[in-house]
Amino acid sequence: MRILIVDDDEELAGLLSELLTREGFRVDMQHDGPKGLAAALGGGYDLMVLDVMLPGMDGFEILRRVRRESRLPVLMLTARGEDEDRIIGLELGADDYLPKPFNTRELVARVRAIMRRLEERRPGVKFEVNGISIDPGTRDVTRDGVPVEVTTFEFDILETLMRAAGRVVSRDDLMEELYGRKATPFDRSVDMHISHLRKKLEGDKPLIKTVRGVGYQFVRSPEEGVAA
């Protein structure tokens, strides 16, 4: 699997490239915004590690443009303490984020967790709950027959919730399933992805219910009943 690192810190990018190469990934690097964007859109990568602060074009603009055309998973690097950067990144469609400075082994672990999810894509049979239909093979989503564009992690969250429709899935279970780590009080990644799904899928019919202090539930229609 191929990874693109877009970071103007050439020393850090080189270190990450070396570590990820040892893990069996093919790694390319770009050190400015325009070249990073061009590579992300045309390079056939499986994941991008994207810094916010870049010359020529910042990481937010790169992410915004990539999301217009691609579901490419993105792990965004943000400045430590800059909560606003993390929130903006997630709102724009980043799959996960890691504040700088970070332990390089943690970054490798997060990359492996994302890539493991990609490798575990189930060909499965298309199924529908409450007007939402998903196809695990093609990873397509429709709402009442109309296609809906979702990111890689949005699809994974939606599939997990729909397979448990009528039952509550805890935030810890979602974090463990998707990221390979427990949720923390300050980690908003799952919550932001849920928010995006609601905006894309819900009209006047609520589909994803928040169970305060526990997690989330995908709502079945009355005629579908509740999962056992």
pLDDT at 65 (0 to 100): 94
Give this prediction's pTM. Answer: 0.68
Q: Check whether 80 has a pLDDT greater than 70.
A: no
pLDDT tier for residue 81 given thresholds of 50, 70 and 90? low
| Domains in the chain: boundaries | 2-119, 127-224
Q: How far apart are the first and last CA of the chain?
A: 38
CA distance 26 to 2: 5
Q: CATH fold of 127-224, please?
A: Arc Repressor Mutant, subunit A (1.10.10)
2-119 domain in CATH 3.40.50.2300?
A: yes
pLDDT at 227 (0 to 100): 47
CA distance 60 to 64: 6
pLDDT at 124 (0 to 100): 67
Q: Are strands 96-100 and 74-79 parallel, antiparallel or unpaired?
A: parallel
What secondary structure does DSSP assign to 68-93, as a single string?
HH----EEEEEETT-HHHHHHHHHTT
Left if phi > 0, otherwise alpha if psi is -120 to 50, otherwise beta: which for 167? beta
